Structure 1
Amino acid sequence: MYLGAAAAVWLFGTLSPAAVAWLRQLGAAVVLLAWRRPGRAAWHGRIFWLAALFGMVTAVMNLAFYESIDRLPLGTAVALEFVGPVLIASFGSRSVRDVGALLLVVSGVVLIADVRWAGSTLGVLFALSAAVLWAGYIVLGRKVARGGQGVDGLAVGFAVAAVVLSPLALGTGPVWTSPRLLVLGLGVGVLATVVPYVLDQVVLRRMGQSRFALLLALLPVTATAIGLAVLHQVPTPLEALGILAVVVGLTIRTRDGESGPEPL
């Protein structure tokens, strides 16, 4: 996912974040439709509308995330995004351990936001918007997975989102005259959407959304490592402390209360 995000940052020098986000959506939709070829049932009724809503929430989440990483280091943006998963992971929690975990995550987010607010208020707001949409992605993604649609639902939802957001394609002009940019843009869709989101569907069919949110705890570390190695983005000491607090908070939360698949 974050190798794809790093590739997207490279594209920001030529294209706007919104244009890159649409190319990502288009690439994912084309690959998934060619692979899965959803039947007629996937394009009608409640199944279709759930997939379409999931696709739109995911696409706008990615758009907000790209706008944030255009203004913030990758690891910082991802840590701020974790407001969404921590809300899901902490939903219904009342134990002292869970309250402590929530406070750690909130403290980490505050540390990061305090560092970045003066430098890029808009970047912080985009990252927090992506966080809210990420919570929606987890809830809706689980419904798609448990409803038997799985990857077919991804294909339908991402195709709908690519069509609805097609006005963003107006910013992709340079891509259509550069095979390198086109391959890189569509490749972001495969790296950052097809592979990780298909794996998410596999995982979400086997566990609840709170436990799934816990499994995301190492993503800020991954993003920071990719940002450092590929984009040469070195976090400040306070940012590093904030990222560590987010990871520890999500990791220490109790794992009780979800024993297996639940019906939709």
Structure 2
Amino acid sequence: MTHKVALVTGGSRGIGAAIARQLAEQGFDIAISYARNKVKADEIAEYITGLGRKAVLIQADGSTVAGNQLVIKETVKQLGRLDVLVCNAGMGKHKTITEATSDDIEEVLNLNLRGMMVETSEAAKVMSEGGRIVLMGSAFAGRVPFEGLSIYSATKAGLRGFAQGVARDLGKKGITINVVEPGPIDTDLNPGDTEEAKYLSGFVATGAYGQVQDVANTVSFLVSENAGYITGIAMPVDGGLLA
């Protein structure tokens, strides 16, 4: 691979960090956006440069249009091009619909859905044939096993329809777009050893949380040349939560 560039939003920790590491190992130069945690972002950048690849860190507010436009612009400005966009930044706010305020609804919509739409729109303008876009969804787009997920699940379900439409828009340009839908994944923000995790694991066919590498491996395949005929799908990485 010669000078290919991937942008991973929310790439400083958890699933995003695993994806950034994996793509760097495949030979990509990497841009990472992050909101606040520069220490973690610096750690990932150090790992990437240790592989002999370039690393660019972009601090941006992923809940704003300007912030999402910035990450695309800075990636191209500093690394010269954009071949892969992984829209990973997102948030969960677990409140029932009677508990949620209008501000809660706006906050989740802005980051989980509108942000990815803006990033995709901006990326598509600068990507050439062979470009890859991956949106980080959730298995909760297809199954809501307990209360408090209505707004979150709606934003993740919205990514399915968005990806299908964009697949039509960009297919003839040779650019693919897909959604990866993790189930319960063990991260520092969602540890797999809590009482809540034990409860959720009961809905999973394997009976266990997945690892961040499970998601990174799936993204790695979808952005590869081997996945050029796959577009507009939602691929679960959920241990059978949707089974």
Query: Normalising to structure 1: TM-score of the pair?
Result: 0.31
Q: Which of these two proteins has the greater Rg computed from alpha carbons?
A: 1
Q: What TM-score results when the alignment is normalised by the length of structure 2?
A: 0.33
More helix by share: 1
Name which structure has the greater RCO, CA cutoff 8 Å, separation 6+. Answer: 1
